Chains A and B, each alone.
Chain A
Amino acid sequence: MSHLFSARAQMGTSLAFHIIFSVLGVGLPVLLCVAEGLALRYKDPHWMRLARQWSKAFAIVFAIGAVSGVIVEFEIALLWPSFARFIGGVAGLPFAMEGFAFFLEGIFLGLYLYGWNRLSPRAHWLCSFPLWISGGASAWFIMTANSWMNSPAGFTLKNGVITNVRPFAAIANPATPYETTHMILGCYVAVGFAVAAVYAFAWLRGQRTAYNRKGLLLGLAMASIAIPLQVVSGDPNARFLETSQPAKYAAMEGLLHSGRGQPLYILGIPDQKTGQVYLAIQIPHGESLLAHFNLNSYSKGLDQIPKADQPNAIVVHLTFDLMVFCGFFLLLAALLFWWFFLRGNRTLPDKRWLLWGLVACGPLGFLAIESGWMVTEEGRQPWVIYGIMRVSDAATPSPWVNVSFAIFSLVYVVLGATLVLLLLRLARNPLPERTWEEYFVTTPAPQAAISPDKMQEATE
């Protein structure tokens, strides 16, 4: 394995792992907040049980999110020191601000998870607000850093020397509004559908309880608000890329040649060597129409980009199509569900195909996130800072990157496997049903009198 390849593979694996937990960290607190709020408002034990069950899962998920985040943070410096030095001096501010969002998230998470019995119900509920606000804020800040890599701004480069640094202009770079919106919405989409999928599956297995119904509806409600916005926000994002990162755009659309009246390629293999797109479904004039509302408008293809500056069109095109497919599938599933739900007097539709469709939406939301990221990151290649620094110039000179790649990959396998095991156990042994009063009866706590095995009982 080449040195550079290992570094890229390690970075990509780490980020692809981390993003799963980040997304949950942004989305789940919103559901926690709403569920607990509904519980308190209606004195409803089901909502309370949902909130508590989710918070148990969140405890584990967040911990893995935090440690995988630490890996990524260090790797930026350890694997790409030249890049880190450049971005630090110009666009380091969002990383620093993100640090405070992490602090608040960590603090209120501790209060939320361990404070069920130490805070008053209302104070406890209020602790979920900083949780989702700082989750969204950390996503926003880190996205501005990524946007900056795609459309660097806020400095002047003269003979290789950085001058005139404007930290806030770096944060407000041209890609920021598009990427931040699209990403944060994506978190709500993916988490909403994932939660709905869990309860749809339970429903299919015959567990038709009020508890499962509420879980499904709340997850799907959040997802359904976000998914149309998500699809709608993807479109200006793509349009913006046509001018700001033409190579990425051409690769996404599979456009190997420039010209007028370009077709829309769905799937297919854009071969940069032969200049042909194989096996694609072609919609004549489709790209020109979608991009400029004009059947014969002109679009740039990869042929206008020097060979050395081209990304891998096959990867970028196919992952883009995958994301768009997921987006429309999710949108359709949500529409169909609410249609049948409202027609059926607010009973969960008893259609197995629809419920199985919802189950499929769980993984598809995350697949959309991962594939969207492949578009962004692979489409930027060979640049780490678009047009300014190449990936190959950013990599660490240290040997042993291969070794560290192997070790960290193993760590991800072990962490992932244990986590899945724990979450499955948690799902199989849900918290016991309780009445509303049981959640809040105040009994004096004879702490020392409770032996460890009794505690174990309380856990089951």
Chain B
Amino acid sequence: MILTGIVMALLWGCIIAYAVLGGADFGGGVWSLLASGPTAARQQRLIEHAIGPVWEANSVWLIYLVVGLLTAFPLVAYTLAVALFVPFTLALLGIVLRGAAFAFETHITGSVNLRQAWGHTFSTASTITPFLLGAGAAAVASGQIHYRNGAVQADRFTPWLMPFALVMGAVALSLCATLAAVYLTVEASHQKDHEMAEVFRLRALIAGAVTAGFGLLGLLLAPGEAPIIWHGLGHQALPVVIITMLLGLGTAFALYLRRYLLARGLVIAMTAGLLSAWGLAQMPYIVPPDLTLSNSASSPAMLGAFLGSAIVGMAFLLPSLWFLFRVFKGNQPTPAVRGRDLEES
């Protein structure tokens, strides 16, 4: 049981990492779609520059989450794959188009039309995907996906299309946008581009307010449409909920003071808090109301092997990740050695 809990915590950590890292890449796409004003082209360039070196690595968190779920909680993977076939297939389409479009857009030279077409694909897919993922998460939380007598019983549409789910989709989307905007203020101030920093500061504040608004709306809908979560939020998860709200306010305040690095740290902590609150609120269920940690986990041998492999893997992963972010996102990113090849830096 302890082993199951540790493995679940590990996977939950992956959700947080994906939200914080991959989510911001989605948010970048959203801002690319919404780029406007005289500096629109510069905004897009900054976004491209920020996403370029890291998106491949960022998206692996999602893959690891899928395989981790498959390995450690195969019954959960099965249930979700059957019940949420439609939204997950659509989200998959979005993920694929977004990744491909980003790569194409950055590497197309010459044809402006083609570049624009892929640019639009990139930003549209970036917008739709987090929405679907958020709605899917809400469907899980809603308690409307059942696994009984060896079969999955769920309506194909209502769990992820009811008001609560739609609102949570909007929360996910605006959260991604907030994350991206906050990171971009840091990115811009590293490049000493204060105009861009101001542009994204304003956007971060607006997106943050929108996220908070949708979040509260979600809380209002929860008692009726996701009672298990609602109960948990008011009980075991309550301290985390309060901390999350404070972190959100803190982020806004840091932005207001133009303390961008601090804002980045706070918004990451807030995202982690939000997801932890959700996780805690539905303990011990993974897919309420039928699948719990204990009745859906793999054998202890598998869980142990999985955990072991994760520890060994992390020993390679974490230093490499640290190195990647130090080179490209650090406080003082290593300067380009040569001016001529700027396109590669």
A residues bordering B, Cβ < 8 Å? 56, 59-60, 62-64, 66-71, 73-74, 76-78, 81-82, 84-90, 92-93, 95-100, 102-111, 113-120, 130, 162-163, 165-168, 396-398, 400, 404, 407-408, 411, 415, 418-419, 421-422, 425, 429, 438, 440-448, 450, 452, 455-456, 458-460
Interface residue range, chain B: 35 or more
- Chain A residues within an 8 Å CB radius of B66: 73-74, 77
Neighbour of B53 across the interface among A81, A114, A167, CB < 8 A: A114
- Tell me if B71 and A458 are in contact (CB < 8 A): no
- Tell me if B338 and A92 are in contact (CB < 8 A): no
Q: In the bound complex, how far is the Cα of B100 from the Cα of A408, in angstroms?
A: 13
Q: With A99-B67, A103-B60 as known contacts, state yes or no: A71 contacts B96, CB within 8 Å.
A: yes
B155 within 8 A of A: no
Q: In the bound complex, how far is the Cα of B336 from the Cα of A438, in angstroms?
A: 15
- Chain B residues within an 8 Å CB radius of A82: 78
- Tell me if B56 and A96 are in contact (CB < 8 A): no
Neighbour of A166 across the interface among B71, B89, B95, B301, CB < 8 A: B301
- Tell me if A445 and B336 are in contact (CB < 8 A): yes
How many A-B residue contacts, CB cutoff 8 Å?
266
- Tell me if B71 and A111 are in contact (CB < 8 A): no
The 20 sampled A-B contact pairs (Cβ below 8 Å) are A59-B103, A63-B103, A73-B67, A77-B81, A78-B81, A96-B71, A97-B313, A100-B64, A104-B317, A111-B324, A113-B344, A117-B338, A117-B341, A165-B298, A167-B302, A418-B100, A445-B345, A447-B342, A448-B191, A458-B341
Of A77, A108, A166, most buried by chain B (CB within 10 Å of CB) is A77
Q: In the bound complex, how far is the Cα of B343 from the Cα of A459, in angstroms?
A: 6
Chain A nearest CB: distance from B158 CB in Å?
Answer: 15
Neighbour of B56 across the interface among A85, A109, A165, A396, CB < 8 A: A109
Chain A facing B: main interface SS: helix
Binary contact readout B301-336 vs A (1 if CB under 8 angstroms, 0 otherwise) = 110011001100100110011011001100001111
Q: Could you list 20 further interchain pairs (A-B, Cβ under 8 angstroms) beyond the known A84-B78, A89-B302?
A: A59-B103, A63-B100, A71-B96, A73-B63, A78-B92, A84-B81, A92-B302, A95-B70, A97-B313, A107-B324, A108-B320, A111-B327, A119-B334, A167-B301, A407-B93, A418-B104, A438-B340, A445-B339, A455-B343, A460-B109
Residue of B nearest to A55 (CB): B344
- Tell me if A422 and B108 are in contact (CB < 8 A): yes
B74 within 8 A of A: yes
- Tell me if A67 and B99 are in contact (CB < 8 A): yes
B148 within 8 A of A: no
Q: With A106-B60, A411-B93, A418-B118 as known contacts, state yes or no: A96 contacts B309, CB within 8 Å.
A: yes
- Tell me if B109 and A456 are in contact (CB < 8 A): yes
Residues B5-61 near A (CB distance < 8 A): 41, 45, 52-54, 56-60
Chain B nearest CB: distance from A133 CB in Å?
Answer: 10
Q: In the bound complex, how far is the Cα of B260 from the Cα of A213, in angstroms?
A: 52
Q: With A81-B81, A96-B67, A130-B320 as known contacts, state yes or no: A110 contacts B74, CB within 8 Å.
A: no
- Tell me if A85 and B306 are in contact (CB < 8 A): no
B75 within 8 A of A: yes
Chain B facing A: main interface SS: helix
- Chain A residues within an 8 Å CB radius of B97: 411
Q: In the bound complex, how far is the Cα of B59 from the Cα of A105, in angstroms?
A: 12
- Tell me if B63 and A114 are in contact (CB < 8 A): no
- Tell me if B337 and A98 are in contact (CB < 8 A): no
Q: With A66-B59, A108-B320, A448-B191 as known contacts, state yes or no: A98 contacts B298, CB within 8 Å.
A: no
- Tell me if B56 and A66 are in contact (CB < 8 A): yes
Q: With A74-B88, A88-B71, A92-B71 as known contacts, state yes or no: A103 contacts B344, CB within 8 Å.
A: no
Q: With A71-B92, A74-B66, A166-B301 as known contacts, state yes or no: A64 contacts B103, CB within 8 Å.
A: yes
- Chain A residues within an 8 Å CB radius of B67: 73, 92, 95-96, 98-99
- Tell me if B70 and A88 are in contact (CB < 8 A): yes
Q: In the bound complex, how far is the Cα of B66 from the Cα of A399, in angstroms?
A: 22
- Chain A residues within an 8 Å CB radius of B93: 407-408, 411
Chain B nearest CB: distance from A261 CB in Å?
Answer: 48
- Chain A residues within an 8 Å CB radius of B100: 63-64, 67, 415, 418
Q: With A96-B310, A118-B334 as known contacts, state yes or no: A103 contacts B57, CB within 8 Å.
A: yes
- Chain B residues within an 8 Å CB radius of A448: 191-193
- Chain B residues within an 8 Å CB radius of A442: 337-338
Q: In the bound complex, how far is the Cα of B60 from the Cα of A66, in angstroms?
A: 9
Q: With A117-B337, A458-B343 as known contacts, state yes or no: A110 contacts B54, CB within 8 Å.
A: yes
- Tell me if A447 and B63 are in contact (CB < 8 A): no
Neighbour of B74 across the interface among A78, A84, A398, A460, CB < 8 A: A84
Chain A nearest CB: distance from B109 CB in Å?
Answer: 6
Q: With A92-B71, A97-B309, A100-B316 as known contacts, state yes or no: A85 contacts B77, CB within 8 Å.
A: yes
- Tell me if B336 and A447 are in contact (CB < 8 A): yes
- Tell me if B68 and A107 are in contact (CB < 8 A): no
- Chain A residues within an 8 Å CB radius of B63: 69-70, 73, 99, 102
- Tell me if A70 and B99 are in contact (CB < 8 A): yes
Q: In the bound complex, how far is the Cα of B96 from the Cα of A411, in angstroms?
A: 9
- Tell me if B77 and A77 are in contact (CB < 8 A): yes
- Chain B residues within an 8 Å CB radius of A70: 59, 62-63, 92, 95-96, 99
- Chain B residues within an 8 Å CB radius of A117: 336-338, 341-342, 344-345
- Tell me if A99 and B68 are in contact (CB < 8 A): yes
- Tell me if A104 and B339 are in contact (CB < 8 A): no
Q: In the bound complex, how far is the Cα of B345 from the Cα of A216, in angstroms?
A: 29
- Tell me if B340 and A443 are in contact (CB < 8 A): yes
Residue of A nearest to B315 (CB): A100
B102 within 8 A of A: yes
- Tell me if B96 and A67 are in contact (CB < 8 A): yes
Q: In the bound complex, how far is the Cα of B298 from the Cα of A88, in angstroms?
A: 8
Residue of B nearest to A108 (CB): B320
- Tell me if A107 and B57 are in contact (CB < 8 A): yes
Q: In the bound complex, how far is the Cα of B339 from the Cα of A438, in angstroms?
A: 11
Q: In the bound complex, how far is the Cα of B252 from the Cα of A388, in angstroms?
A: 57
- Tell me if A396 and B338 are in contact (CB < 8 A): no
- Tell me if B77 and A95 are in contact (CB < 8 A): no
B82 within 8 A of A: yes
B86 within 8 A of A: yes
Which 9 A-B pairs give the minimum distances between C-beta atoms? Answer: A92-B71, A63-B103, A100-B313, A88-B74, A88-B70, A106-B56, A106-B57, A95-B67, A99-B64
Binary contact readout B92-127 vs A (1 if CB under 8 angstroms, 0 otherwise) = 110111011011100111100010001000000000
